[in-house]
């Protein structure tokens, strides 16, 4: 079967590997249909990893996938051959102290598909077929587009971020960074009842997609560096900021525009900015991080499945698996691409 495997920076290969074994007890076999290229996949492609995490041996990439169940292992109930599913790539141990506290996204022994954090690496899901624990395969309706179903993972990240923020009903929200996560946060914040959503970035192309996702105002900070001045007035006019860029200046700006007692949720990873502590203290800013997701994955699948959110604007490219390298190159061009997906033959 075909697999998309990274060997070293800019050494991405579509290879023929052995077919998946029969589904084991409690497992289902899934024929992968769509796989979205994530920012972490691009880090492996361009840099061989990120931070201290480095590829030590060949690894299949991918963790944003959907497909069709083709085989049931012993003891599996609630799924049937032919079901469309979104695959949750996150597999907490279930026994560590954080799993027992219902903080499974902080698991001490997490297995996450397509990650070089462990040795040997946890193989990814850009494979023609995979066996996964049945609970990781979340069923969607036969009518649901599998490209949209493959967005469950990144949308889960955004739903978790919104949960960290607390109630947004009637709130004025600013989202810093209009990459895939920023744009999907627009949908999540709107769903949570935000009445005004402002999105900022330093390039115009992704801001156009943020507008399609439902942002009320999109600001190109390079073209309009003074545009946020009015939001800084009277100690800040924004109730909640989702910082999705990971850029150091963005956190300072967030502290300037958020209202006293307001909330900042940091979602993006990148530099290690200096925290403007005087603003955090004097404005009594509530600052929280947001990492991955847990129960939100099933919620994301249901929202997509029922058509409660329209995430289609973020899908800006689809390539057959044989053109995976071209897909990664296109996904690297932020002036053209938002979320790029790989299509497997059965898709």
18 and 139 in one domain? yes
Dist. CA 159–CA 184, nearest whole Å: 9
Give mean pLDDT, residues 150-165: 98
CA angle (155 as vertex; 149, 158 as ends), nearest 5: 170
Q: What is the pLDDT of residue 167?
A: 96
190 and 147 in one domain? no
Residue 2 pLDDT > 50:
yes
161 and 145 in one domain? no
36 bridge partner residues: 64, 341
In a domain, 298, yes or no: no
Per-residue pLDDT of 235-250, as tens digits, reads 999 999 999 999 999 9
Helix (H, G, I), strand (E, B) or coil at 341: strand
Residue 118 pLDDT > 70:
yes
200 and 262 in one domain? yes
Q: What is the pLDDT of residue 51?
A: 86
In a domain, 209, yes or no: yes
71 and 8 in one domain? yes
100 bridge partner residues: none
In a domain, 33, yes or no: yes
Residue 346 pLDDT > 60:
no
Contact 244, 176 (CB under 8 A): yes
Per-residue pLDDT of 160-198, as tens digits, reads 999 999 999 999 999 999 999 999 999 999 999 999 999
Q: Domain residues for 137?
A: 2-151+311-343
In a domain, 304, yes or no: no
Dist. CA 347–CA 344, nearest whole Å: 5
In a domain, 332, yes or no: yes
Strand-pair category, 2-8 with 11-16: antiparallel
Mean pLDDT, the chain, whole residue set: 96
In a domain, 294, yes or no: no
pTM over 0.85: yes
In a domain, 295, yes or no: no
CA angle (294 as vertex; 288, 299 as ends), nearest 5: 105
Q: Domain of 34: which CATH number?
A: 3.90.180.10
122 and 11 in one domain? yes
Domain count, the chain: 2
Largest CA distance in the chain: 64
């Amino acid at each position: 079967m075909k697999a998309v495997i990274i060997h070293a920076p800019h050494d991405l290969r579509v290879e023929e590997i052995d077919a998946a074994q029969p589904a084991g007890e409690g497992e289902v076999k899934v024929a992968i249909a769509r796989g979205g290229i994530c920012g972490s996949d691009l880090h492996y492609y361009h840099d061989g990893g990120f931070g201290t995490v480095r590829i030590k041996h060949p690894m299949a990439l991918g963790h944003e996938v959907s497909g069709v169940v083709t085989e049931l292992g012993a003891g599996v109930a609630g799924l049937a051959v032919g079901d469309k599913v979104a695959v949750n790539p996150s597999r907490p141990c279930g026994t560590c102290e954080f799993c027992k506290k219902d903080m499974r996204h902080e698991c001490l022994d997490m297995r996450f598909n397509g990650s070089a954090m462990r040795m040997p690496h946890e193989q990814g899901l850009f494979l023609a077929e995979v066996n996964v624990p049945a609970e990781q395969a979340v069923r969607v309706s036969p009518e649901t587009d599998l490209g949209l179903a493959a967005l469950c993972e990144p949308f889960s990240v955004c739903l978790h971020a919104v949960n960290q923020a607390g109630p947004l009903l009637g709130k004025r929200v600013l989202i810093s960074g209009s990459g895939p996560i920023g744009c999907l946060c627009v949908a999540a914040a709107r769903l949570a009842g935000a009445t005004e959503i402002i999105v900022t970035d330093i390039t115009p192309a992704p801001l156009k997609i943020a507008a399609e996702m439902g942002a009320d105002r999109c600001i190109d900070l390079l073209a309009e560096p003074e545009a946020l001045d009015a939001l800084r007035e009277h100690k800040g006019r924004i109730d909640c900021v989702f910082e999705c860029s990971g850029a150091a200046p963005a956190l300072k700006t967030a502290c300037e525009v958020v209202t006293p007692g307001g909330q900042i949720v940091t979602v993006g990873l990148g530099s290690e900015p200096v925290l403007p502590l005087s603003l955090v203290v004097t404005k009594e800013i509530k600052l929280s991080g947001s990492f991955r997701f847990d129960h939100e994955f099933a919620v994301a699948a249901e929202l997509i499945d029922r058509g409660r959110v329209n995430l289609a604007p973020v899908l800006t490219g689809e390539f057959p698996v044989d053109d995976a390298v071209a897909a990664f190159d296109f996904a690297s061009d932020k002036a053209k691409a938002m979320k790029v997906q790989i299509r497997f033959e059965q898709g």
